[in-house]
Structure 1
């Protein structure tokens, strides 16, 4: 979070990179070059102080002129005087609600900028503007009694934006900063180990942030009987944050506190630190740190112990594994954009065309959970900037690519009337219509393309035939395998567009795939991975379907449809410690094969607190 006026702007870029610049146009910048419209700096989340100005930055590169517009909660912002020369937005004063008649005052909400030039329109990520606040105390420290040498614990609770800094005082005097017996946790907890008579007194906490400061009520520390004070709480964090799992106990003699994971995996040592006498701190958490953590307090020299546990859930904002790439296509051709993102929870993908939500239509198709965008029969109206937006509860991310429509000059038309039939278990015959005589003169030959359904284009086979040939037989194919086939006509100037692809399956004894075997692995208390081996002949299947249900539920949820090259899938956000049944089946052009079932218990191997041997490493 950035306070006050926001981050200091970077040094001015070259003039041709500044939004709204009147610099000379760059001549004929190539597709995908540095002149392609792209963000250099997008707005970021900011915490503003009431009645103080702030600046949200929006810096782009692209061929001038570039127009910058700003939006709040999806609606266009008025008041052009608020937009600076470099496209950034200056808000003179921030309030919970806009002041009447003030164009540059703004309320809290989500802000985004849009950049537009001749290539299309690009929409930035959303930046959340919050107003700095500091609530009253929801919890005050309470008086307590402990024995000499024991442990005391006080807690106060307050909400603030940004999060308040908590400090503690005894008898209205700050605690000594160099005394290791005092442990301060960020959540407003004060722990005092090895209590002495000099520690008796009135304690209070002070909370401060940029919105102000508050003091809690006072509590007294006295002598008394030992007790178990606090165990770990359930936490949901985002990657790279710091997790602090509290575990503090008192007794005579002083108990030994140890930590373990309920799934038996090692906690590790990198980034792990113990605060005070038993609080576990994990710096820079990752998805691998998610799980159920158990703290155990043992009385030295005995088997007497107490345990407590808490669940650490780690979310990861979307990250792109594969980005869409800019392409140039002639009219009538096909354009494919691929966008693959990962995160926890699994990101949701949506597509924008020039900043507007793209809906599927007769020639625009979305498949594979929106990771693949196919535009068929490309027309000039399809020329635009296409953005893939990946979002989950941990954040959002965006990637963009441009589709340029280039005129196809004097190239042959795509072959028509393409049909195919299986001749045997290893041969398929393909035929197509003979073009008109005036078209035939410009054609010098045909090239046929064939590949197993589900395989990548890199595994495609090509065979060329003469201009006078209108049928061809593919041989040495796999039995019971489905193939995708298309062809192109060639002239001295180049190739035609692809013909409509067709599917054909070689003959064989089996019509649908056999039931695939698969395995499962419990990742943490609410996630499980299913994985399987791919068949030696990938073309025999077109994909897989996964179903799951929580027992004793009667109905399966799904299917989750995966491509023929997929060999694993992770179910996340399941009900912790529940039992599920997972079903897997393969399918091809002949239908769905038989399914395989596996039971998965998210509490398998988990020992209950208090059982012998529950303390791990």
Structure 2
């Protein structure tokens, strides 16, 4: 079922392409919710504007609406149902959700969904009940109705309309008759009368009691909210209202009905909150309270609409759609009326508020709609993508190659473009993605037009990447180059944390902890040298699971530097060093640090003294006056008896006789900052 519209003029748009300007489709009038009467005609509007010819189709509950003499589409797109029907089995009933779709040669646009309900006879959900009360008390009759449309309820007292605005009305000591009347657009009925008996019992003191407090209520903006609060007591309590959050209820649109009910007309989002009904005994602080929550919902409204754009083939386009509402609206995207799902070239981010299309082709030319939905309603905004057919786009880059430079760097190279098109190229874009990850995880790096070699940094070790290149001109992007698969180098281990333990005057035990990631450990290398010698002993290779090694046959009373590294197929870690003295058994070496040789520096000097009080005093004098050679000359022995510890490897120079050397043989030098 369709109709051709030929009388509508195209509207202007922000689309940058000339054909896009003339092709914009938009709704002038969309179908809206309606209540239909059985066996009566029903009309649903659908009027659009845009480039002709435009075809209008209708759907019911998401399916094409079948054509029949009873169901027709008028020339202006309006749906006409001559006799609205309801079958007992419900399969052919006309109730449901209707939407119309407008289509021209550029795309298809779908309207909002309109709910069509069948008018029904109002039925009592809660009947009022006759009751007897004391004079001065409160009688509460409840009359609740179900029906479509919502019925209007009025009350009569003794066959006369009841003046509900008279808050001072008090019944006499008699029997009175009340009627609950129901009126709607299609039916009127009157409920049989109920009776209220008022007795003249003596009035005694009664504490305030709230017979009916406010109920939790959810409504939509601009509707009217009524919060009930009926209280009784003797003397009659005073009913007041407040908000639990302390904010003012306000005065505009606020009215207290009778002796307590609160009515808020034309509610807004600011009216949402918890309301407190308080029944106060006059002249005292005695009160009773009841709480009710009012939730005000708002249908979606757009803060940012998607804009129509024109893009060249091979390029990308981004549509942004931002909506607000209460509760927060859910966003979905349609392409020519069909739900758009994420894929290799379709990316939805920011809670579906951003639609990104990559590697655009002619198949992507369509009308894209953003549908915002929540429990209060729906809204839609649309934009068109026009794909420019550029004939002179640059050719795809050739000769793309990759090589691994380090654990986190790949070097890309490619061939320069032919001279005939080199001037038209304005730059390149390199697309980078981990192998196996989806396309929306892809990263892009822009490269200048005169560059044919590029280093991709900040990558992960031992990770395989897929890369390709595109050339760009002022008309758009080229086709992608050949894809290159390359893996970064692995990482070396981190330095092991080591400790030393002096077992005796010629033996030292080295212990260490296995290094943490990154870098798998294949083994360890342990080497050492005697201070002040510069040459290390040949490294001792240890397996990856080893965590200790004992070095024996060392020279007594000597100072040794011990160095430990971890290694794998990618290289060696930084070394962990320690200086240890064998002057006394049981003395443990102090940890040097985990730092590079080039970064070693004199950090501190630790002096251990084991000879006695005299040696302590002598060592202190040396530290104070050691660099003032003239003060030490009387104690200096022959040159052949002097002991020198070279300053290499961060050491210090010690000058003195053999006794002084024995005193300082326990010095351990820490080369850390």
TM-score, normalised with respect to structure 2: 0.59
User: Aligned-pair distance for 1:149?
Assistant: 4.1
Task: Confirm whether residue 347 of structure 1 aligns to residue 329 of structure 2.
Answer: yes
- Does 1:202 pair with 2:177? yes
Structure possessing the higher relative contact order (Cα contacts under 8 Å, 6 or more residues apart): 1
Aligned to 1:521: none
- The answer to whether the 8 A contact 1:43-1:57 is kept is yes
Give the secondary-structure state (helix, strand or coil) at the position aligned to 2:363: helix
Is this contact kept in 2: 1:490–1:496, CA < 8 A? yes
Correspondences of 1:249-398 after superposition (within 5 Å)? 249-398=231-380
The answer as to 2:73 corresponding to 1:70 is no
Q: Select the residue among 216, 232, 237 that pairs with 2:219.
A: 237
Structure 2: distance between partners of 1:344 and 1:269: 24
Choose the corresponding residue for 2:5, options 14, 21, 38: 21
Task: State the Cα distance separating 1:412 from its structure 2 match.
Answer: 2.2
Instruction: Measure the CA separation in 2 of the matches of 1:135 and 1:163.
Output: 8
Distance 1:273 1:422 in 2: 77
1:76 to 1:136, Cα distance in 2 relative to 1, 3 A: same
Are the counterparts in 2 of residues 143 and 221 from structure 1 also a CA contact under 8 Å?
yes
Q: Could you tell me how far apart the structure 1 residues matched to 2:41 and 2:301 are?
A: 33
Matched, 1:171 2:158: yes
In structure 2, what is the equivalent of residue 529 of structure 1?
Answer: none
Distance in 1 between residues matched to 2:449 and 2:317, nearest whole Å: 28
Match of 2:83 among 75, 93, 100: 93
* Cross-structure match for 1:433: 414
Structure 1 residues 264 and 109: alpha-carbon distance in aligned structure 2, compared to 1, 3 A threshold: same
State the aligned residue count.
448
Structure 2 Cα separation of the partners of residues 207 and 421 of structure 1: 83
Residue 395 (structure 1) shift: 1.1
Check conservation: 1:45, 1:129, Cα contact below 8 A.
Answer: yes
Contact preservation (8 Å) 2:312, 2:476: no
Largest Rg, 1 or 2 = 2
Listed as ranges, the gaps of 5+ residues in structure 2 are 432-444, 457-466, 482-673
Instruction: State the secondary structure of the residue aligned to 1:152.
Output: coil
Distance 1:57 1:440, change over 3 A: closer
Counterparts in 2 of 1:9-158, with a 5 A limit?
Answer: 20-22=4-6, 30=18, 33=21, 35-79=23-67, 82-97=72-87, 107-158=94-145
Range moving further from structure 2, 429-438 or 414-423:
414-423
Q: In the alignment, what sits opposite 1:213?
A: 188
For residues 445 and 119 of structure 1, do their structure 2 counterparts lie closer, same or farther at Cα, with a shift above 3 Å needed? closer
Q: Contact 2:3 / 2:73 at 8 angstroms: preserved in 1?
A: no
In the alignment, the residues of structure 1 paired with residue 421 and residue 258 of structure 2 have an alpha-carbon distance, to the nearest angstrom, of 86
How far is 1:437 from its partner?
2.8
Flag the 1:268–1:19 CA change in 2: closer, same or farther, 3 A: farther
1:496/1:439 Cα in 2 relative to 1: closer, same or farther (>3 Å)? farther
CA contact 1:170–1:204 (8 Å) conserved in 2: yes
Aligned partners of 1:24 and 1:389: how far apart in 2? 25
Offset, 1:56: 0.3
Secondary structure of the equivalent of 1:250? strand
Q: TM-score, normalised by structure 1?
A: 0.64
Conserved 8 A contact 1:412-1:442: no
Identify which range, 304-313 or 156-165, moves more after superposition: 304-313
Q: Give the conservation status (yes or no) of the 8 Å contact 2:308–2:385.
A: yes
Q: Distance in 2 between matches of 1:465 and 1:244?
A: 67
CA distance in 2, matches of 1:430, 1:240: 63
